[in-house]
Structure 1
Amino acid sequence: MSRFSNRILLTLLLGLFFAAPEAVRSQGFDAKTLQRAQRNGQTGNLYGSNPYEQTEGEEGENQQPQDTTKKERKIRKPLESYFFNDSIRALNNFKWHVSRDFNRVEIGPLDTTLTDYRIDYPFYREDVGDIAQGALGQTSLPLNYFRRPQFFDFSFASPYYAYTYNMENVPFYNTKKPMIRMNYAESGQKRFREENFGIMHAQNISPTTGFNIDYKARGTRGQYVWSRTKNHNLAVAVSHTGRRYSVHAGYYNNHIEQQENGGVVGEWAIADTTFEMPSGVPMRLADAEARNLYRNNAFFVTQSYGIPLQRLTESDFSMANLSAVYIGHSFEYSSWSKVYTDRNEPYTNERDHRDENGDFVSAEGHYYGNWFINPAETRDSIYERNISNRFFVQAQPWDRNGIVGTLDAGIGIDMHTYSQFELKDYLTGKYTKVNKTSYFFYGSVSGKIKKYVDWDGNLRFYPSGYRGGDLSIGAHLALKGYLRGHPLILEGRFSMDRRSPTYWQENLFSNHYIWNTPLSKENETRFEVKFSVPDFAFEAGAWQGVVSDKIYYASDSNVAQHSGNVSLTSVYARKDFRLGGLHLDNRVLLQWSTDQDVVPVPLLSAFLSYYYEFWVVRDVLRLQIGLDGRYNTKYYAPGYNPALSVYYNQREVETGNYPYMDAFVMGKWKRMRIFLKYQHVNKGLFGNGEYFSAARYPLNPGMFKIGISWGFYD
């Protein structure tokens, strides 16, 4: 292990040695607090329903006389925000994300269990996973068409969606006590090592005000030649969620460096065991200088103020149950840049084709066919900036959880700046800048009928300016019933989008690709139905979509537009079986596309996880031992183009029909989680030997991994 990893492990072991007993620590308070509670005669949950209202004495016939010479402890105000219901407030710690457009938040879980902890690649955690370029920190694209990122501000960074922060996924926390969580994982030999490090600190200054810092560093030194990747992501956030006024502010930074090798010269280099080390596999970009560098800096602030339409008294714990109007503003500044470099060097394919005698013939090739600006080397630089302002009003006619809970309306202005090098810039010495402004208005309505019905609808329209005529309509309905106390949930979603192409899809000037072509708007309609029984780990859903004038990247990587309609259907099912300690977790996805040239998808994709879970020491150490497996049928999987940072629809090689399996042991010891895993345990044992996910990009060969995560709550 590296010096850094040794220090991390030493720190964790020292922390474990001096840790307080689990019976005290697991409740989220320290030994002194427990002793104080025992002296005062308190029993049960120390915090009760509202930990901030605890005093030295409680009313009751057994209450001891108070010492009037002592100054009474000041009662701290509780968390009064209308964002959170009683069940959320009762949690010791919880997390949420803020909405960009509406005066709402989305509550998310704090993952401290064994569930999926061993899955260290973030793009593998949702349903059946992604088409992957290969290693940690590199690009990916969801296998499920209906999960692929849309409306990504800087489209060239969308392949890194699983890693990057944006305004709507920056986390906010509410913690009863300061919390630090740290994790580290590594694998492989030192010169090929993958490293995954993350640290989070969250602390509340008061029940309604807190701040947090999240930092993640993920990457690889590269099992294959020229595949070194660094992915650094930082988010700093501050929140205040008071009874009337709320504000969420944050800064985030995404920094990505990736060497590009263009994939293998031929599938034979992986399927045939002619190379002792992965670093000897020949790649199509035979140049160590081929690389991408991405930089993103952004900050945002969104705030709202509530005006009650009924008298607000001190006994009103929250405004959620009163008629009210909220006015607010949201601001975001985000800038992205991308620099791609390479040199014009050919690669050699030793098995390019066979001659008349059936023998292999070697041939040289070039990854790129065009060198428009410089025939010797490339330095393409592009830049995008977006400044967004949104002004919104939210009406709460009766009750925030009523039949008509909230009515929202807002207007927005987005100011875009795009910059790239063009031929005329040789004379001016400055890069060409283009400014675009888009105006839009939007609205939504949502409500609930007790705990049985949850519904909402939304609309967004761009009347003029850049993106003029774009329209988005959506609706959602959830019905909940109960069978012997177990919830049964049936959901339906509908969306219709008419959207303009991005600026870069219509305008690009680079060393390898040039286009300047107006494109028509895409039109897409989607329907989704999902039925779930959470208590029995069952979920089944179906999507149906029709898209017309689909914009995509063709087999030559140039942008293209399909003139007709493409229909897409997906059926997804998840069921986790449990027989004592034996767990059989299954996720299966079926997909059909009426035009595989435009939207290629595999017919079948699956993720299966079979493991045995048991207590080694009751309430102290719990273990899981098992196998994870991923599989999809053969199809013309997308290829990845480094210069454009896009997945394109190649039609030369089929990929799939290979099971990729990991063996793991995972445990939870008090506050610590740890996993040991051998990734790609079946390499060379069975399968067709072509372990590709994206076309010509091999997944990692067999490698051992170790990971550890620890939380501190004092």
Structure 2
Amino acid sequence: MQNRRSGNISDNRSSQQKSVYVAPDVKTWKIDSRFGVADTVAVDTIPLNFQDDNPVDRYSIANSYNGNLASPLQSKIFFDRTQKTDFLFGIPYDAYFRDPSDFYFFNTKTPYTNFGYQTGSSAQQAEDHVNVLFSMNDGKRLNITGLFDYIYARGQYSSQSAKALVASLYGSYTSNHYNASGILAYQKFDNKENGGLTDDRYVTNPTYTGQYTTINMPVNLSGAQSGYENVFFYYNQSYSLGFTKTIHLKNDSVRKEFIPVTTFIHTLNYSLGSKRFHETSVDTSFFANTYLSNTSHSDTASEMSLKNTFAVRLDEKFNRLFHFGLTAFIESNYQRYMMLNDSDRLSYASEYNTTIGGKLSKYEGRIYKYDFEGDMIIEGPRIGDFHLKGNIGGFFRLGKDSVVLRARGRIQSVSPSYFWDHYYSNHFIWNNHFANTFQSYVGGDLSLPKHHLFLGLQMANTKNMLYFNSSALPAQFSGNIQVVAANAELDLHAGPFVLANKGVYQICSNQSILPLPTWSMFHNLYFTTTLFKDLNTQIGTSVSYNSSYYAPDYMPATEQFYLQHQIKLGAYPLINVYANFHLKQIRIFVKYYNLGTMFLPNTNYFSIPHYPLNPMTFKFGFSWNFYS
């Protein structure tokens, strides 16, 4: 069978992945993208909080975005920010984008289908989300899964609609000797860009607000569209040499188990990402610079990556004496870049880098697990770049509960990706020679599962941090910036009532370069009961809140968040009320989003400057499982 580890010692509790609710006879797992090692994922049998099952709420408890689902997003919590791609213009879509490590693989005894639908607001401003997943096995070894996930959010405000499409066909093959995982995925994101409201008082001042509905409030741009498109093909395969061991069971029966000794691994990862920005007319009063056209224009840039990884692993199950696995690998990465040049024509550049590295790991056993991995680029323009990281976790008994402890660390030196240094477009041109960014990180957490308590602490020091300055241009801070964050989760139970609490306290040594809210909190008070013997019911209200700070501004032409120090945002409680129902194979929710706009005196519900959150909106959704 496929080598598989149980539990994820490097899991980040604040970065939530989508839950998978399936029958007990359906097994699920995820893989790491470099070696394809499977990580078993526990089946979700508690269908609570279905009302928050959307990409924005799963990504982080506090986010900066334009208020519309499927729009570019950045977490307000520093350690929740991800980078799933080397392509600069794809990072704002990390909350929606799925890389190989985000896919759930299946092994099912019967074909399994999940159909989900969520909607909100009126027909003209509706926010629709459809997702379909179908998985089936051909025998015990081969599984094929299809995924279709589509968001069409028309937007509460003018020229704000957004679309997100994820379509994928993927599968796995598992046997004693040969194992494989493959993914073919197409992902496309489109946004109409309105540049925000021309005057924030349309939201904050009742005199102004009374004259307008959200859809006809004046905005800065019309006829502008941005987007990101990606297609990738991923294939991991491994072949194990070993022997078969006979295990005698207590009932005098025997079981044969294959023990891998040495495994040879190959991973192919091809990705093509492209960015675009189109204007039917150029608003020179909004954009500070216009270089190529004052009437209409289309900017474009793309990055292609072809990566091959070859590895040899001495497997842990055979190594009973020292109880660890050891992996050595070499990796080649060819990248090709495309953008406009000063003649408004396409230009190309490319680079080739070779990386070597190794990994020491222990995933077997229940008491403790660890992995330590390092790599360095030995050939190419990024020669000298390196990553060193490690994770260790374990548990021990404490009375009737168990204490789970985890620690992780990382040291890395990374060259800026190509588009941090070079870009040419209608409104922005830059040519930089930034230095490597050096970062050291250490974090750890403690949890008491039966007491519903989780505590975490993370610290990072970054030298030569890259960011977008107040002119929306790339910049680099040559000094050191330290960030310390403490996070906690505590669920308080009183009979059928539960108060679930999450909080993050973060301190940054340089708020002028890296502004962060000091506090971000989420509270969820709900009541659970079972009606008519089979109808599991959850009724509750939730509130999220972050302290005020200089939230980043947003540049439509590059889809990047950049510094501003004029407007402080935050200190607004986002209140929702909801009801969830679960009956056998179907889950349903109803929800009122941002209820506070109806009665709170503070109407400053902006996520980023000039981009308000949606006002009170009714939402509805369901998820239905089918087995055939």
TM-score normalised by the shorter chain: which range applies? over 0.9
Structure 2's unaligned 5+ residue stretches are 8-22, 248-253
CA drift of 1:298 comes to 1.2
Aligned pair partner of 2:229 in 295, 312, 315: 295
- The 3-state SS of whatever aligns with 1:564 is strand
Aligned pair partner of 2:497 in 562, 576, 582: 582
Q: What's the counterpart of residue 203 of structure 2?
A: 270
Aligned residues: 604
What letter matches 1:241 in structure 2? T
Q: Cα 1:148–1:208, aligned 2, differ >3 Å: closer, same or farther? A: same
Q: Cα 1:475–1:434, aligned 2, differ >3 Å: closer, same or farther? A: same
Q: Which has the higher contact order (CA 8 A, sep 6+)?
A: 2
Deviations 1:381-430 (A, max 9, x none): 111111111101111255478853311111111110100111245xxxx5
Q: What's the counterpart of residue 268 of structure 2?
A: 331
Deviations 1:565-614 (A, max 9, x none): 00101010000111111010000000111111211110000011111111
What letter matches 2:146 in structure 1? I
Q: Cα 1:448–1:423, aligned 2, differ >3 Å: closer, same or farther? A: closer
For the pair 1:342 / 2:275, whether they are aligned, the reply is no
- The 3-state SS of whatever aligns with 2:420 is helix
**Superposed, which structure 2 residues align to 1:31-46 within 5 Å?**
none
Q: How far apart, CA to CA, are the structure 1 residues paired with 2:66 and 2:42? A: 29
Q: Rg bigger for which structure?
A: 1
Aligned pair partner of 2:160 in 215, 227, 239: 227
Structure 1's unaligned 5+ residue stretches are 1-79, 347-364
CA drift of 1:541 comes to 0.2
For the pair 1:366 / 2:280, whether they are aligned, the reply is no
CA drift of 1:165 comes to 1.8
For the pair 1:528 / 2:528, whether they are aligned, the reply is no
Q: How far apart, CA to CA, are the structure 1 residues paired with 2:244 and 2:27? A: 31
What letter matches 1:82 in structure 2? N
Q: How far apart, CA to CA, are the structure 1 residues paired with 2:319 and 2:193? A: 51
What letter matches 1:606 in structure 2? M
Contact 1:657 1:688 (8 Å CA) reproduced: no
- The 3-state SS of whatever aligns with 1:279 is helix
**Superposed, which structure 2 residues align to 1:179-218 within 5 Å?**
179-218=112-151
Q: Cα 1:417–1:635, aligned 2, differ >3 Å: closer, same or farther? A: same
Q: How far apart, CA to CA, are the structure 2 residues paired with 1:496 and 1:337? A: 30
- The 3-state SS of whatever aligns with 1:562 is strand
Aligned pair partner of 2:414 in 485, 489, 499: 499
Deviations 1:96-133 (A, max 9, x none): 22222224112224445322311143221255232232
Deviations 1:631-679 (A, max 9, x none): 0010001111111111111112111010011110111012110001011
Contact 1:671 1:711 (8 Å CA) reproduced: yes
Q: What's the counterpart of residue 83 of structure 1?
A: 4
Deviations 1:474-515 (A, max 9, x none): 111112101244321111111011001010000000111101
Q: How far apart, CA to CA, are the structure 2 residues paired with 1:207 and 1:311? A: 19
Q: What's the counterpart of residue 435 of structure 1?
A: 350
Q: How far apart, CA to CA, are the structure 1 residues paired with 2:59 and 2:244? A: 46
CA drift of 1:535 comes to 2.5
Aligned pair partner of 1:568 in 466, 483, 489: 483
What letter matches 2:77 in structure 1? N
Q: What's the counterpart of residue 563 of structure 2?
A: 649
Q: What's the counterpart of residue 412 of structure 1?
A: 331
Q: How far apart, CA to CA, are the structure 1 residues paired with 2:165 and 2:597? A: 30
Q: How far apart, CA to CA, are the structure 2 residues paired with 1:206 and 1:652? A: 62
TM-score (structure 1 length as normaliser): 0.82
Contact 2:597 2:615 (8 Å CA) reproduced: yes
- The 3-state SS of whatever aligns with 2:567 is coil
CA drift of 1:240 comes to 0.4
What letter matches 1:478 in structure 2? G
Q: What's the counterpart of residue 676 of structure 1?
A: 590
CA drift of 1:701 comes to 0.6
For the pair 1:622 / 2:555, whether they are aligned, the reply is no
Contact 1:526 1:545 (8 Å CA) reproduced: yes
Deviations 1:338-366 (A, max 9, x none): 210125555xxxxxxxxxxxxxxxxxx82
- The 3-state SS of whatever aligns with 1:683 is helix
Q: What's the counterpart of residue 573 of structure 2?
A: 659
Q: What's the counterpart of residue 377 of structure 1?
A: 296
Contact 2:149 2:166 (8 Å CA) reproduced: yes
For the pair 1:634 / 2:548, whether they are aligned, the reply is yes
What letter matches 2:285 in structure 1? H
Q: How far apart, CA to CA, are the structure 1 residues paired with 2:494 and 2:515? A: 38
Contact 1:506 1:519 (8 Å CA) reproduced: yes
Q: What's the counterpart of residue 20 of structure 2?
A: none
Contact 1:128 1:589 (8 Å CA) reproduced: no
Q: How far apart, CA to CA, are the structure 2 residues paired with 1:694 and 1:523? A: 29
Q: Cα 1:402–1:496, aligned 2, differ >3 Å: closer, same or farther? A: farther
Deviations 1:17-50 (A, max 9, x none): xxxxxxxxxxxxxxxxxxxxxxxxxxxxxxxxxx
Q: What's the counterpart of residue 177 of structure 1?
A: 110
Q: How far apart, CA to CA, are the structure 2 residues paired with 1:221 and 1:311? A: 58
Contact 1:439 1:466 (8 Å CA) reproduced: no
For the pair 1:464 / 2:374, whether they are aligned, the reply is no
Q: Cα 1:410–1:683, aligned 2, differ >3 Å: closer, same or farther? A: same
Q: Cα 1:615–1:265, aligned 2, differ >3 Å: closer, same or farther? A: same
Q: What's the counterpart of residue 454 of structure 1?
A: 369
CA drift of 1:85 comes to 7.1
Contact 2:84 2:99 (8 Å CA) reproduced: no
Greater strand share, structure number = 2
Q: How far apart, CA to CA, are the structure 2 residues paired with 1:133 and 1:570? A: 25
Q: How far apart, CA to CA, are the structure 2 residues paired with 1:85 and 1:479? A: 12
Q: How far apart, CA to CA, are the structure 2 residues paired with 1:506 and 1:537? A: 46
Contact 1:157 1:645 (8 Å CA) reproduced: no
Q: Cα 1:661–1:243, aligned 2, differ >3 Å: closer, same or farther? A: same
Q: What's the counterpart of residue 465 of structure 2?
A: 550
TM-score (structure 2 length as normaliser): 0.92
For the pair 1:138 / 2:71, whether they are aligned, the reply is yes
Q: How far apart, CA to CA, are the structure 1 residues paired with 2:419 and 2:45? A: 41
Aligned pair partner of 2:307 in 388, 398, 411: 388
Contact 2:150 2:164 (8 Å CA) reproduced: yes
Name the Cα RMSD after superposition. Answer: 2.0
CA drift of 1:81 comes to 3.2
Contact 2:84 2:91 (8 Å CA) reproduced: no
Q: How far apart, CA to CA, are the structure 1 residues paired with 2:481 and 2:540? A: 40
Structure 1, 310-319 or 685-694: larger mean CA deviation: 310-319
Q: What's the counterpart of residue 169 of structure 2?
A: 236
Q: Cα 1:313–1:445, aligned 2, differ >3 Å: closer, same or farther? A: same
For the pair 1:108 / 2:41, whether they are aligned, the reply is yes
CA drift of 1:313 comes to 6.6
What letter matches 1:648 in structure 2? Y
Contact 2:245 2:256 (8 Å CA) reproduced: no
Structure 1, 370-379 or 577-586: larger mean CA deviation: 370-379
Q: How far apart, CA to CA, are the structure 2 residues paired with 1:551 and 1:522? A: 8
Q: Cα 1:377–1:206, aligned 2, differ >3 Å: closer, same or farther? A: same
Q: Cα 1:176–1:553, aligned 2, differ >3 Å: closer, same or farther? A: same
Q: How far apart, CA to CA, are the structure 1 residues paired with 2:255 and 2:187? A: 42
